[in-house]
Amino acid sequence: MIRFLHTADWQIGTQFGQFEPDEAAHLAEARFETVRRIADEAAARKVDAVLVAGDVFDLQTVSDTVIRRLFGALQAFSGPWIMLPGNHDAALVESVWTRAQRLNCIAPNVRVVLEPGVVLLDECRSALLCAPLTQRITYDDTTAFFDAAETPPGYHRVGLAHGSVSGILQEGIDSSNPIAPTRAASARLDYLALGDWHGHVRVDERIWYAGTHEQDRFRGNDPGFMLDVTLREPGASPRVEPVRVGKYQWHRWDETIAVPTDVDSLKARLAALNGNDVLRLAVSGTAALADAEALHVAVEEARARVRALRVDLSGLQVLPTADDLAELGAQSGYLAKVVARLRGLQEDPQSDPREVARAAEALLLLARIQRELPREARSA
């Protein structure tokens, strides 16, 4: 029997350029923290090995310090780590892996597989058929040699590769680094551990993607997991348990406001977020001035709680009601004309979207200025 953890796509060194520097720093640090969590789990679960199916590093050019920190994060588990280069950290003649070797920071229990071949784990009678990427993009199936690869009798046959199972994954990513969907069957594999897709996915009973250990995109494809895999005897079905290890939860909300209760609902959802959440929020639709102001306050309060927030309110039209106008002292006179003009810009289907967004912002700014005045001083 062999029990191992299957993980992949750590992308150590990811820059997170879409975020503010302090936000990006926390997100980058979480990738190290979650590697340490995987090491702790490996030790606690007493697994036989940890298989890392490619893209350990996001770039070949990460600093020496990043390389040292990554290998230092593995220390809690003293068993075998089997690491495979992927498309981001391919086993080039000169690569992040050769630099790590020169730095002498790879512990003896960490095996970096730089050439296609078979790695034997004799203590658990298992043979790992490894297909590292030796260039960033390939158009041949690097796992093809698995079919003819010889392994000792009675050993588990476990494949380890990085690429795209043809015809399975979305968004047209099947064009490079292809892997045949029948590979587990044709190569008599008990399990095929894959990396490249950033969510954990069951392709079939024996072929799995582990996904990235720490979410890095606003995409709902179940990232943030590792897989705890048990093979009891050669040929038997694997037992696969997804285990959540990621620190941050990324959310993408596209909200449309039509009635005041929509604002109340969104405010409640924002209030439920905490420091482990990363949010991209886009709001469209229409709201009364008071509701729009309340939503802006809720967004800024959420910004102070969550780890990172990207927000776009440019699609929300702010249309003052009679009550709003009365509160601002804008029922008549010059101020009423300004408000009417700004409202008209938003309601005119011929208006440039940028002008619509600026009109909404101007109304909110005008409201804030008016509310800061004593009620008796508000212009009518």
Q: Report which of residues 36 and 329 the model is more confident about.
A: 36
Tell me if the domain spanning 2-244 has CATH number 3.40.630.10.
no
The reported pLDDT for the residue numbered 174 is: 45
Taken in order 80, 67, 243, 162, the sign of the CA dihedral is negative
Choose the weakest-confidence range: 85-94, 273-282, 331-340: 331-340
Q: Where are the domains of the chain?
A: 2-244, 249-377
Tens of pLDDT along 262-320? Answer: 999 999 999 999 999 999 999 999 998 889 989 999 999 999 999 999 999 989 988 77
> What are the residues whose beta carbons fall under 8 Å from the beta carbon of 250, sequence distance 6 or more?
215, 216, 217, 218, 219, 223, 277, 278, 279, 280
What is the rounded distance in angstroms from the CA atom of residue 269 to the CA atom of residue 160? 41
What is the rounded distance in angstroms from the CA atom of residue 6 to the CA atom of residue 211? 9
Query: What is the mean predicted confidence (pLDDT) over 37-50?
Result: 98
Band of residue 164 on the pLDDT scale cut at 50, 70, 90: very high
CB neighbours of residue 213 within 10 Å: 29
What is the rounded distance in angstroms from the CA atom of residue 147 to the CA atom of residue 141? 12
The reported pLDDT for the residue numbered 346 is: 73
The reported pLDDT for the residue numbered 339 is: 66
The reported pLDDT for the residue numbered 367 is: 65
Q: Report which of residues 91 and 138 the model is more confident about.
A: 91
On the question of pLDDT at 167 being above 80, the answer is no
Summary mean pLDDT of the chain? 90
Band of residue 184 on the pLDDT scale cut at 50, 70, 90: very high
